[in-house]
């Protein structure tokens, strides 16, 4: 008996969440922990390697941003690989690269080697972000897709928090090598766990591996018999043709803008340079690291809020709340800096701390995790690896640009004017999300293009389900 591919995906979308869904989502997203740790730890490392290696402004910028530049390249490279060889194989390879390059970073004997190995850690990070949420989306029931995919943000937060507390504890001995080397431990655990991951059932069906697909579908709770044969969908698009499809092109533009904005509106300046900013305001190394660690440690509560709301309120509403919160936080940041520079030191530092804490609150609730969920769900399955890789690359290149520019800007113009720029960018991000982004909550992956088929239009009313997608909008003339 031959059944269409669409029937199988409907069964997969309507299954109840079981242990395998949860375990696979956690292990699939575990690379996010290393993403968080390996990128976050540089904020603490910089406090100590800058004087040891006598780094100038250019070298600090390259050391901090090189990871993001190679992450963008890694994301682009990963897309074709995962579409051809599967999601699982790349996820395992990423773990190996994490471990090797983290160890070499810790053993670096000069600034050149440190930059090289740190940058190659970035390649692994970028490759992982290209497919992690896409992989999770491909086996998740549609009503739980947001919550399972946003596990990536839990892991990123956990890694960032671990990096700042590790940096704080090791700051008393100034052991920057151990700060970097500790990343090897979760990488080894990652490799071992990912070896047992199931392959994406959607990818298996698309690539003619029906027997394996049926075995895995059953494990995910899908009712399918041995005598049922799945008719795979026609491969309508190649990566070259992807931009000729209006819905996909629109999805890439809007989600790409979200991912760029989530980087250039200040998150990585606060995380990577947070201790540097506090030192700029007069705090010692350990206290500077501690303040950043405390702010980031609240992310567990923030993740729980986002986990609860993403499939209830949807991506768009959380995005409006998130980016709106960034605008408010950056306004407080500017007030705090103004107070500090006017000579009221304690009040200024307290306002800056409040601003950074609120910024991270709204970022975790409505910006970071939601952006990665969108990245993993809006591209069709047959080109998801390449499309999601392109979106991840846009995210990382935006990350690279802002953290490369910051040291130069701070040296030339100071911190205050930089955060004025971040405030302006946050207002633009809020406008883009509020005006143009449609809702994707509750939509089957196979019907996702219908959400974007009207192109760039101002959203006035929207409702989406897998069987009924409709919206009214005012078209831009």
Measured in residues, the chain has a length of: 477
The pLDDT tens digits for 359-415 are 988 998 999 889 999 998 998 877 788 888 899 999 999 989 998 888 889 888 988
Angle ∠(208,212,216) on CA atoms, nearest 5: 125
32, exposed or middle or buried, with CB in 10 Å at 0-12, 13-18, 19+?
buried
Which helix (H) or strand (E) segment is 477 a member of?
none
**Would strands 457-464 and 229-231 be described as parallel, antiparallel, or unpaired?**
unpaired
CB 180 within 8 A of CB 55: no
- Long-range residue pairs from 410-414, CB within 8 A, at least 24 positions apart, any chain: 410/280, 411/57
Query: What's the predicted TM-score (pTM) here?
Result: 0.83
Separation of alpha carbons 163 and 169, rounded Å: 10
State mean pLDDT over 306-310.
89
CB 163 within 8 A of CB 32: no
pLDDT at position 474 is 40
Tokens of 176: 């920057």
CB 289 within 8 A of CB 168: yes
**Would strands 457-464 and 469-475 be described as parallel, antiparallel, or unpaired?**
antiparallel
Separation of alpha carbons 335 and 283, rounded Å: 19
Helix, coil or strand: residue 473: strand
Query: Count of H helices and E strands in the chain?
Result: 23, 4
Tell me, what DSSP letter sits at residue 379? S
Separation of alpha carbons 47 and 162, rounded Å: 17
Separation of alpha carbons 470 and 419, rounded Å: 39
The pLDDT tens digits for 6-18 are 888 888 889 999 9
The pLDDT tens digits for 232-289 are 766 555 666 667 788 888 999 999 999 999 999 988 888 777 777 777 777 766 777 7
Per 3-state DSSP, what percentage of the chain is helix, strand, and coil (rounded to 5)? 75, 5, 20
CB 40 within 8 A of CB 292: no
The pLDDT tens digits for 62-80 are 888 888 899 999 999 988 8
pLDDT at position 304 is 82
CB 394 within 8 A of CB 374: no
Conformation bin of residue 221: beta by default, left when phi > 0, alpha when psi is -120 to 50:
left
pLDDT at position 473 is 40
pLDDT at position 100 is 95
Q: How confident is the model at residue 20 (pLDDT cuts 50, 70, 90)?
A: very high
> Is residue 317 scored above 80 in pLDDT?
yes
CA distances from 419 to 61, 98, 277, 330 (A): 18, 33, 12, 7
Separation of alpha carbons 211 and 121, rounded Å: 36
Tokens of 12: 């997969």
Which helix (H) or strand (E) segment is 250 a member of?
helix 246-264
Q: How many CB atoms sit inside 10 A of residue 474's CB?
A: 10
Question: Could you tell me where the DSSP H helices lie in 86-233?
Answer: 87-106, 111-139, 145-149, 151-171, 176-181, 184-194, 201-206, 210-219
Tokens of 275: 């201790």
Tokens of 469: 């997608």
pLDDT at position 284 is 67
pLDDT at position 290 is 79
Separation of alpha carbons 164 and 158, rounded Å: 10
Residue predicted with more confidence, 281 or 200: 200
Tell me, what DSSP letter sits at residue 257? H
């Amino acid at each position: 008996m031959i059944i269409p591919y669409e029937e199988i995906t409907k069964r997969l979308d309507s299954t109840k969440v079981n242990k395998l869904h949860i375990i696979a989502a956690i292990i699939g997203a575990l690379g996010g922990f290393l993403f968080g740790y390996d990128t976050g730890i540089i904020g603490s490392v910089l406090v100590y390697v800058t004087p040891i290696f006598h780094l100038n402004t250019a070298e600090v910028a390259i050391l901090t941003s090189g990871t993001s530049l190679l992450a963008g390249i890694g994301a682009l490279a990963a897309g074709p690989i995962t579409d051809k060889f599967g999601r699982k194989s790349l996820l395992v390879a990423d773990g190996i690269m994490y471990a090797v390059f983290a160890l070499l970073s810790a053993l670096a004997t000069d600034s050149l080697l440190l930059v090289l190995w740190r940058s190659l850690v970035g390649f692994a990070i970028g490759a992982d972000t290209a497919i992690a949420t896409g992989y999770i989306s491909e086996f998740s029931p549609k009503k739980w897709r947001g919550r399972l995919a946003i596990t990536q943000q839990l892991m990123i937060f956990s890694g960032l928090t671990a990096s700042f507390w590790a940096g704080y504890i090791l700051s008393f001995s100034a052991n920057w090598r151990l700060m970097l080397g500790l990343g090897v431990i979760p990488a080894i655990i990652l490799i071992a766990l990912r070896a047992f991951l199931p392959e994406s059932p959607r990818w298996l069906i698309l690539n003619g591996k029906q027997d394996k697909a049926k075995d895995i579908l059953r494990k995910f709770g899908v009712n399918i018999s041995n005598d049922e044969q799945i008719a795979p969908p026609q491969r309508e698009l190649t990566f070259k043709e992807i931009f000729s499809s209006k819905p996909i092109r629109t999805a890439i533009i809007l989600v790409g803008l979200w991912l760029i904005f989530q980087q250039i509106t200040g998150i990585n300046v606060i995380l990577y340079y947070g201790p540097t900013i506090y030192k700029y305001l007069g705090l010692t190394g350990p206290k500077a690291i501690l303040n950043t660690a405390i702010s980031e440690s609240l992310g567990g509560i923030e993740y729980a809020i986002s986990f609860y709301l993403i499939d209830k309120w949807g991506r768009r509403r959380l995005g409006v709340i998130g980016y709106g919160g960034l605008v408010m936080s950056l306004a407080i940041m500017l007030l705090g800096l103004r107070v500090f520079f006017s000579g009221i030191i304690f009040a200024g530092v307290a306002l800056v701390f409040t601003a950074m804490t609120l910024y991270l609150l709204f970022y975790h609730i409505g910006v970071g995790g939601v952006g990665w969920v969108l990245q993993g769900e809006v591209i069709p399955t047959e080109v998801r690896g390449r499309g999601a890789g392109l979106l991840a690359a846009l995210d990382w290149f935006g990350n690279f640009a802002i953290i490369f520019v910051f040291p130069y800007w701070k040296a030339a113009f100071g911190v205050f004017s930089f955060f004025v720029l971040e405030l302006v960018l946050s207002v633009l991000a809020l406008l883009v999300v509020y005006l143009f982004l449609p809702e994707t909550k509750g939509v089957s992956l196979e019907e996702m293009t219908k959400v974007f088929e009207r192109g760039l239009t101002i959203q006035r009313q929207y409702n989406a389900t897998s069987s009924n997608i409709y919206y009214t909008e005012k078209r831009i003339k």
